[in-house]
Amino acid sequence: MAIIINEVSRTFNEYLIIPGLTRKQHTPDKVNMQAPMVRFKKGEDPAITLNIPFVSSIMQSVSDSGMAKALAKEGGVSFIFGSQSIKDQCRMVRQVKNYKAGFVESRANITPESTLKDVIALKQKTGFSTIGVTEDGTATGVFCGLITGRDYRENRDSLDKKVKDFMTPINDLIYAKNGITLTEANDIVWDHKLNTLPILDENQRLVYFVFRKDYDSHKLNPNELSDVNKRLVVGAGINSRDYAERVPALVEAGVDVLCIDSSDGHSEWQKGTIEYVKREIGKHVLVGGGNVVDKEGFLYLVEAGADFVKVGVGGGSICITREQKGIGRGQATALIEVAEARDAYFKATGEYIPICSDGGIVQDYHMTLALAMGADFLMMGRYFARFDESPTRKLLIGGNYVKEYWGEGSNRARNWQRYDMGENDNSNSLKFEEGVDSYVPYAGKLKDNIDVTLGKIKSTMCSCGVSSLKQLQSEAKLTLVSSTSIIEGGAHDVMVKDAKN
């Protein structure tokens, strides 16, 4: 007979938070939302600390470079989806890493003898519309001029037109000498109303660009998550098949953190992947594993060397794994058990391995619950898929705007590696779907929504009398709710007026 666990497997919806004593110092502006992202030893700091405890799902319909930039600016991290070619995934990582840095190396360069056709091709390939013109077409060649979208008309000008005939030449540009500080560079940008300031060395070679948009962006995003070189932090999903080629390429592209993307992480394939990455590619390469739903799964990945562990099987909004295979566990129960295992491991070894609650968040208060139950940070798909910054189409369906959102286990994603059963499973096709193709209500800009969500979480934390996530984990009181008390929690026994009136 199988081992029967009699404890009921529960979801977030079955819990509520009991308010604690709110002291006068408990105001939302004093609440700290920072969270450790990767393994660290007692007394040390983790290599990455999130400024808000949110990461976006490793999914085609959620995390591309656009989402990654938007989320890093708010203090979280996106994991660029891995169900694409290594080249395409690395291109997305580069787009994020090159996005801003104060001083940015020019990533799109061309020679004066090239043509408009070459410029358009370069723009498509790199995604950059500001192109440096250098004698040899390299990022550090002798600087000749600049091309922006204002220098040509794509549909009107001859594609054979030479770059030297339509670029803005160096003599008409304001530029600065290498060695200038960022503040001085920004002053020049502002005083002369420039969008781009080229920085040249004593031999007139291009060294950097300073962009006006980066200055604006930093001022607007005090929580921005950046690396030591002031570049946005970005993650990427990997699988347990092509890691020997994919991981070095992603590291080369500048990725900050990796995560193995799998519906079931308690496997020898994950162990092998983590061990290979740490042994062959570098101990410093940060890699999370998952997903697991119990203590055994957590400890297995921790022993393999995982830098964080993701929790959750079958709870995702687009997931039908539980219906198809009968595997999974209520997200709240899974999280509580794994959080206990993490704390016990920390106590025993002095090593803290953060856990990430993945999937199943519907209401904003579910996030507070998950954090109180012990999650260090949360991975969300549906939440982010609703925003302008997700890579999918916005459509008008039945009079309402929606965004497309499909699971990695759906036929549409064709992400066989996430679900296959290792190297002997050579079917190279999905035998049955574990995810659906869906729509989610369109919700506007990521920043606006995150501001509201964080406002709610901070307000709840103040009600609990805590001002950090660590305190929330150790001091919050949670209670199970009956189905009738759930009804009591919404508006009831009144006729709700149309919200618009």
Active centre residues (catalytic): 319, 418
Name residues contacting ligand MZP, limited to 426-465 (CB under 6 A). Answer: 434-435
| Site map (CB under 6 A) of ligand MZP, residues 30-69, x = contact | ---------------------------x-x----------
Q: Sign of the CA dihedral 403, 378, 433, 8?
A: negative
Cβ neighbours around 495 below 10 Å, total: 5
Q: Measured between alpha carbons, how far is 202 from 285 in angstroms, rounded to an integer?
A: 37
List the one residue from 267, 408, 460, 462 that touches ligand MZP (CB under 6 A).
408
* Total site size for ligand MZP, rule CB under 6 A: 22
Is 361 a binding residue for ligand MZP by CB under 6 A? The answer is: yes
List the one residue from 83, 407, 449, 476 that touches ligand MZP (CB under 6 A).
407
Interface stretch with ligand MZP, choices 30-38, 198-206, 355-363, 446-454 (CB under 6 A): 355-363
Closest distance to ligand MZP from the beta carbon of 406 (Å): 7
Closest distance to ligand MZP from the beta carbon of 314 (Å): 7
Cβ neighbours around 183 below 10 Å, total: 9
Interface stretch with ligand MZP, choices 5-13, 33-41, 353-361, 391-399 (CB under 6 A): 353-361
Is 420 a binding residue for ligand MZP by CB under 6 A? The answer is: no
Q: Measured between alpha carbons, how far is 457 from 451 in angstroms, rounded to an integer?
A: 10
Q: Sign of the CA dihedral 408, 409, 411, 414?
A: positive
Give the distance from CA 7 to its chain's centroid.
34
Q: Is 235 left (phi over 0), alpha (psi -120 to 50) or beta?
A: beta
Look up tokens 């994991």; give the residue: 79
List the one residue from 13, 78, 317, 449 that touches ligand MZP (CB under 6 A).
317
Is 265 a binding residue for ligand MZP by CB under 6 A? The answer is: no
Closest distance to ligand MZP from the beta carbon of 331 (Å): 9
Q: Is 420 left (phi over 0), alpha (psi -120 to 50) or beta?
A: beta
Is 337 a binding residue for ligand MZP by CB under 6 A? The answer is: no
Look up tokens 């704390």; give the residue: 343
| Site map (CB under 6 A) of ligand MZP, residues 138-157, x = contact | --------------------
Closest distance to ligand MZP from the beta carbon of 157 (Å): 45
List the one residue from 66, 289, 359, 374 that touches ligand MZP (CB under 6 A).
359
Task: For residue 345, report the phi and psi dihedrals to the nearest 5 degrees.
Answer: -65, -40
Is 321 a binding residue for ligand MZP by CB under 6 A? The answer is: yes
Interface stretch with ligand MZP, choices 348-356, 379-387, 451-459, 460-468 (CB under 6 A): 379-387
Secondary structure of residue 458 in the 3-state scheme? helix
Q: Which is nearer to ligand MZP, 388 or 437 (CB)?
A: 437
Q: List, in order, residues 6 or more apart from 151 with CB less than 8 Å away.
A: 166, 167, 168
Closest distance to ligand MZP from the beta carbon of 50 (Å): 16
Q: Measured between alpha carbons, how far is 319 from 316 in angstroms, rounded to an integer?
A: 5
Closest distance to ligand MZP from the beta carbon of 108 (Å): 33
Is 237 a binding residue for ligand MZP by CB under 6 A? The answer is: no
Closest residue to ligand MZP, based on beta-carbon distance: 435
Kindly report the CA angle at 68 between 66 and 71, in degrees rounded to 5? 110
Contact 259, 288 (CB under 8 A): yes
Interface stretch with ligand MZP, choices 89-97, 170-178, 275-283, 359-367 (CB under 6 A): 359-367
Strands 109-110 and 77-80 turn out to be unpaired
Is 288 a binding residue for ligand MZP by CB under 6 A? The answer is: no
Closest distance to ligand MZP from the beta carbon of 338 (Å): 15
Closest distance to ligand MZP from the beta carbon of 190 (Å): 41
Strands 477-480 and 309-311 turn out to be unpaired
Q: Which is nearer to ligand MZP, 221 or 321 (CB)?
A: 321
List the one residue from 82, 328, 360, 391 that touches ligand MZP (CB under 6 A).
360
List the one residue from 71, 409, 430, 453 that touches ligand MZP (CB under 6 A).
409
Interface stretch with ligand MZP, choices 140-148, 184-192, 311-319, 451-459 (CB under 6 A): 311-319
Q: Which is nearer to ligand MZP, 332 or 380 (CB)?
A: 380
Q: Which is nearer to ligand MZP, 53 or 254 (CB)?
A: 53
Checking 451-460 for CB contacts under 8 A at 24+ apart, the result is: 452/364, 453/364, 453/367, 454/33, 454/52, 455/28, 456/364, 456/365, 456/368, 457/33, 457/364, 457/367, 457/368, 457/371, 458/28, 458/31, 458/33, 459/28, 460/17, 460/365, 460/368
Q: Sign of the CA dihedral 58, 63, 65, 71?
A: negative
What totals of helices (H) and strands (E) does the chain contain, helices first? 16, 24
Q: Sign of the CA dihedral 342, 343, 348, 350?
A: positive
What b/e sequence results for 458-479 when a residue is b if at least 16 CB atoms lie within 10 Å of its CB, and e otherwise? Answer: bebbbbbbbbbbeebbeebebe
List the one residue from 90, 285, 380, 464 that touches ligand MZP (CB under 6 A).
380
In the complex, the residues that contact ligand MZP under the rule CB under 6 A are 57, 59, 316-319, 321, 358-361, 379-383, 407-410, 434-435
